[in-house]
Amino acid sequence: MALSISIKRKSQIWSLDLMVAVLIFLCALLIFYKYSINVIDVEEQGVEHLLLDAKLISSYLVSTGYPEDWTASNVTLIGLTNGEIRLSKEKVQQFSSLALSDYTNSRRLLSTMNDYYISFEDKNGSLFEIEGISSIGKDYSAENPDNLIKVERVVIYNSSIIKLMVHVW
């Protein structure tokens, strides 16, 4: 009688399959991790850039500008005060008309490539008008930006303390 012995070779390479699968999973996890970290870094750099821009714009606006008694035809740097944080209604009017007529040029004069919105508020947080002007620039609420930075500066207008609000996105 012949004995037939059959050897079944199941699961002999199971450990090799497991190692390959774990290696593929770890590579995918590493790629995902690297990608997500880079996305977060880019967003943080964008916010930091916007914050720097907003601070610079607000600093320019509370200065006299250049030249000191600038007009729309000779302005190099827009400033809205007399150098002692007192707003000049003439400069506010000229800046408003400049922004309405050539918004792109007004951004260049503020040394920014980002959009801006300037508004004035009284101590209660209500809009404050200077010769009928309560805001200058693009309205950010219409655009719904992902990142919006707001910087507040305190200035004086006609013996009243008001806030100069600079929004950048």
Tens digit of pLDDT for each residue in 47-88?
888 999 999 999 999 999 999 999 989 999 999 999 889 999
Q: Kindly state the average pLDDT of the residues 13-40.
A: 80
Q: Is residue 61 part of a domain?
A: yes
Query: Contacts by 53-56 with C-beta closer than 8 Å and gap 24+?
Result: 53/112, 53/114, 53/149, 53/168, 54/149, 54/150, 54/151, 54/166, 54/167, 54/168, 55/151, 56/110, 56/111, 56/112
Q: Is residue 30 part of a domain?
A: no
pLDDT in tens, 127-168: 999 999 999 999 988 888 888 999 999 999 999 999 999 999
Which residues on adjacent β-strands are paired with residue 163? 121, 154
- Per-residue pLDDT, 4: 63
- Per-residue pLDDT, 66: 94
How many residues can be counted in the chain? 169
Q: Is residue 68 part of a domain?
A: yes
Q: Is residue 8 part of a domain?
A: no
- Per-residue pLDDT, 6: 61
How far is the C-alpha of 139 from the C-alpha of 42, rounded, in Å? 25
Q: What percent of the chain stands above pLDDT 70?
A: 87
Domain tally, the chain? 1
Which ranges of the chain does DSSP label H, i.e. alpha helix?
A: 14-61, 89-101, 103-109, 140-143
For residue 73, the enclosing domain spans 38-168
Q: Is residue 88 part of a domain?
A: yes
Task: Please give the backbone phi and psi of residue 136, each rounded to the nearest 5 degrees, phi first.
Answer: -140, 135
Q: Is residue 21 part of a domain?
A: no
Higher pLDDT: 137 or 38? It is: 137
Q: Is residue 43 part of a domain?
A: yes
